[in-house]
Every structure is written in C-alpha cells, then in structure tokens.
Amino acid sequence: MAETPNQWTSAIDTTRPSIARAYDVVLNGKDNFEVDRAFVAEIVKVVPEIYDVATYNRQILGRGVRFLVEQGVTQFIDLGSGLPTVENTHHVAQRANPESRVVYVDNDPMVLAHGRALLAENDRTAVVTSDLRDPKTILADKDVRRLIDFDRPVGVMLVGILHHLHDDEDPRGIVQAYMDAVPSGSYLFITHFCASSEDSREAEKKFLALLGTGRFRTEAEITGFFDGFELLEPGVVALPLWRPEGPVPSELTVGQRLMYGGIARKR
Ligand code: SAM
C-alpha cells in the first residue's frame, strides 16, 4: 500500500546518526548508514562492551516476552521498539501464541519505512510512528485501538528506552500514563542502563556525551519505575540474571552489569 508522505516518512536524516540505526549497527543489522557506523565506532572506544550489551538486551526481550505469553498475555505495546531485526517482539510472541498482537511505537522514520514493509503480511502487528513521551496520542492511535483490547491484559514494554529520557521529561509519569490505560493483570517490562559502579559511571559520562540524551539510573531509581506494581522475581537485576535460561557466570563483567531490567504485574 502506498504510504502517504508525512512529517515522519520524509524525515530520514542520513547526515546525523540516529539511536535506532546505531542500535541496528550493534545488532549487526543492515538498516544503517555510514554516519551511524562511525558513531558506533566512537561509542566502542568508550564502551567496548556495547555489542554485548545490545545482545543481552535482545536476549532478555525474548525471555521477557515468552514469559509474558506464558502468563496469558497476547497483546503488547512495544514502546521505543527500534528497527525490525531478527527475534522482534512479534516473532517471539506469535511463535509462543500465534494470536498475539503487537504494536511497535518508535519516533524514528526508518522504523516506519522498514517496519511497514516487514509487517505488511502480518495483520496482527502494526508500527506507529510517534513520540512515546505523548501517551495520550499513542493510546488514541487508530492502530493501537484496532489491535489492542484495553479490557484484556496488555504487556507494556519500555525495553532499552527510558534512559533516553531526562527527569524533567517525567519518565515516571509517562510509565504511569500507559499503565493507567491498561487493566489489572497487565504487565510492565523495563530494561535500563544502570549506574551501578564506578565503571558504569565513567561509561555513562562518555556514552551520554556522544548520545546527547537521557541518563543512566541507579538500581533503586529503576526499581522506582515499578512502584505501585507487583515486582516479579527476581526483581530488578542485571540483564543476564533475569530468569536465565542457561548457566550464569558467578561474577558479571562490566558489560553484563551495564543494564538492569525487570517485569511487574498490575494488580
Ligand atoms: N526496544 C528495542 C530493544 O530494546 O531492543 C530498541 C531499543 S533502541 C536502543 C531505542 C529506540 O527508541 C530507538 O529505536 C529510538 O528511535 C527509539 N526512541 C528514542 N526516543 C524515543 C521517543 N521519544 N519516542 C519513541 N521512540 C523513541
């Protein structure tokens, strides 16, 4: 179907790196430009483990989505979803339950361009190009309303995204707005860069100087996003420690400790 040009589809800027395309680089994807690869090369100088961090994040995304499907969740709003790569939320969820519905939300126009093509054949999945800091608009979006039944539990995913938001953008209020819109029995799934050690503080400073947006948060601050919800075992932990499906090393590397995550249930 032809796409009506709008502010998003006409806005792919190949002169500056984008978060979505840089993340695609570290996931060894193909939807990126030279400017993104050069940017990642700079990041690698300050956070050499960044490729591993991205891998741990994608792995917990898979484990978390499978876990939520096991809890009976078949609808997902994946906020800050990134470019469609392998093992996306809809691949994992629909493999576990073919009835699963997924709405991807991202403000990067590349996600729309590639996502629409990839998802054209899949009527249980949609890509909404919008800013997740505007829950009202997203929750009223026609594709969100078409695919998500707000009378049934929803998996609200903010995976690898809240550290891009500054405190004055009210990330907790944004999380709350999405959780207010979903019924009891819904779940909140968050992963976040964690300021857990001197190593990570140094990485944070340099990483954010390059990225120019957001901040790492402490374990307590990340746990605070789940206030008011039932935080499920094992709580907010370094990514490889969240319900691992294989053996976990007794001592974690800096890369393994750089992001934390958890899942909570709305009572
Ligand atoms: N959630 C995916 C994952 O964890 O594998 C992708 C995470 S990627 C690091 C962050 C994504 O959030 C990027 O695709 C970026 O375009 C998107 N993003 C950043 N700020 C956003 C905003 N304000 N609204 C919507 N998407 C945003």
Task: Report d(CA 21, CA 250) in Å as an integer.
Answer: 33
> ipTM > 0.95?
yes
pLDDT, position 2: 37
Q: Indicate the angle between helix axes 50-70 and 19-26, nearest 10 degrees.
A: 100
Q: Is 82 in the pocket of ligand 1 (CB under 6 A)?
A: yes
pLDDT, position 5: 40
Task: Report d(CA 117, CA 112) in Å as an integer.
Answer: 8
Is the dihedral angle over the CA atoms 98, 103, 108, 109 positive or is it negative?
positive
Out of 12, 21, 164, give the residue to mutate to test ligand 1, the one with the largest number of ligand atoms within 8 Å of its CB.
164
DSSP 8-state code for residue 184: T
- Spans of the chain below 70 pLDDT: 1-10, 197, 199
Task: Report d(CA 96, CA 70) in Å as an integer.
Answer: 8
Q: Which CATH number fits domain 9-265: 3.20.20.70, 3.30.450.20, 3.40.50.150, 3.40.50.980?
A: 3.40.50.150
